[in-house]
C-alpha cells in the first residue's frame, strides 16, 4: 500500500511538470515543439524548419496560441534573416509586444510588420514567443516568410550574397529584385510578349 501511494504521488508530480506550458498555433511552430523543448532558449533548441508563408493585411497578421499558466509576462519578437538566430539576435519587438501580461487560455496577438522597415516582400524571418512563468523562461518559434507579391527579373553580375528584398536563383545565378508595383510587372510582361 505504501509503495502504491509513493508511486502514484511520483507519477502525479511528474505529470504536473510535463503539463503544457503554452501552445503556439499560428504561425505554425517549429517541428518538434513540445513542453520540454520550450525550456531551452532560443526556439526550444530546435533547428530552423520549413517556413510558413504569412499574408499580412495592411501590414498586420495574428500570432495565436493558448497559455496553460494563470499568467505570463510575454515578449513577441522577430529576427529577420535566413539563418537560425541566437537568443541575442531577437532584438526587434512588435509594437506593443514587449513585456505584456497574458492570462490563462487562448491568446491572439496582433503583429504589425508594416512598421518594421527590414520586413519586405519575400523576407525570411523567425518569430519568437517568449514567456516568463513560474516554470521559467519558455520559448517557441515560428519560421516565416512574407510572400513575394510581384517580381521584376533582371540579370545581374557581381556579388550574389543574400540581400533583404532579393534572392539569387540557384539555376542561373541571376538576381531577382522584389518590386512592389503590379503595374510595373504588367508593363514588363507586355514588353516581353
Locate the domains of the chain by residue range: 20-145, 151-192
pLDDT at 1: 45
pLDDT at 4: 42
- Give the DSSP letter string of 138-179: EEEEEEEEPPP--EEEE---S-----TTEEE-TTT--EEEE-
Instruction: Pull the grid cell for residue 116.
Output: 518594421
Residue 123 CA to residue 103 CA, distance in Å, equals 32
At 179 the pLDDT is 28
The predicted structure's pLDDT at residue 14: 38
Contact residues for 49 (Cβ-Cβ < 8 A; gap 6+): 30, 31, 143
The three-state secondary structure class of 80 is strand
From first CA to last CA, the distance across the chain in angstroms is: 85
* pLDDT, position 56: 87
What lies within 8 Å, CB to CB, of 155 at 6+ separation is 174
The cell numbers describing 63, all together, are: 500570432
Q: What is the H or E stretch that residue 117 is in?
A: none
Report whether 119 contacts 77 (CB < 8 A): no
Residues 6+ apart with CB under 8 A from 10: none
Size (the chain), residues: 193
Q: What pTM does this model have?
A: 0.67
In whole angstroms, how far apart are CA 18 and each of 12, 13, 14, 120, 145?
10, 9, 6, 39, 32
Bond from prior residue into 10 cis (ω within 30 degrees of 0): no
The answer to whether the CB of 98 falls within 8 A of the CB of 149 is no
Classified as helix, coil or strand, 10 is: helix
Tens place of pLDDT for every residue, the chain, 193 residues?
Answer: 444 434 333 333 333 444 558 999 999 999 999 988 999 999 999 999 999 999 888 889 999 999 999 999 999 999 999 999 999 999 999 988 999 999 999 999 999 988 788 888 888 999 999 999 988 899 999 999 987 543 323 223 333 322 223 222 222 232 232 222 333 333 333 334 4
Class of domain 20-145: mainly beta
Amino acid at each position: 500500500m505504501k509503495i502504491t501511494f509513493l508511486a502514484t504521488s511520483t507519477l502525479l508530480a511528474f505529470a504536473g511538470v510535463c503539463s503544457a506550458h503554452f501552445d503556439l498555433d499560428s504561425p505554425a511552430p517549429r517541428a518538434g515543439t513540445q513542453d520540454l523543448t520550450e525550456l531551452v532558449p532560443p526556439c526550444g533548441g530546435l533547428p530552423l524548419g520549413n517556413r510558413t508563408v504569412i499574408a499580412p493585411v495592411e501590414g498586420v497578421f495574428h500570432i495565436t496560441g493558448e497559455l496553460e499558466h494563470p499568467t505570463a509576462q510575454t515578449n513577441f519578437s522577430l529576427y529577420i534573416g535566413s539563418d537560425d538566430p541566437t537568443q541575442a539576435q531577437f532584438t526587434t519587438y512588435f509594437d506593443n509586444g514587449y513585456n505584456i501580461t497574458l492570462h490563462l487560455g487562448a491568446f491572439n496577438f496582433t503583429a504589425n510588420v508594416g512598421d518594421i522597415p527590414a520586413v519586405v516582400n519575400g523576407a525570411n524571418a523567425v518569430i519568437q514567443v517568449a514567456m516568463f512563468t513560474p516554470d521559467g523562461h519558455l520559448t517557441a518559434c515560428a519560421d516565416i516568410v512574407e510572400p513575394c507579391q510581384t517580381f521584376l527579373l533582371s540579370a545581374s553580375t557581381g556579388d550574389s550574397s543574400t540581400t533583404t528584398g532579393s534572392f539569387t536563383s540557384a539555376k542561373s545565378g541571376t538576381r531577382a529584385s522584389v518590386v512592389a508595383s503590379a503595374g510595373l510587372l504588367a508593363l514588363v510582361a507586355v514588353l516581353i510578349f
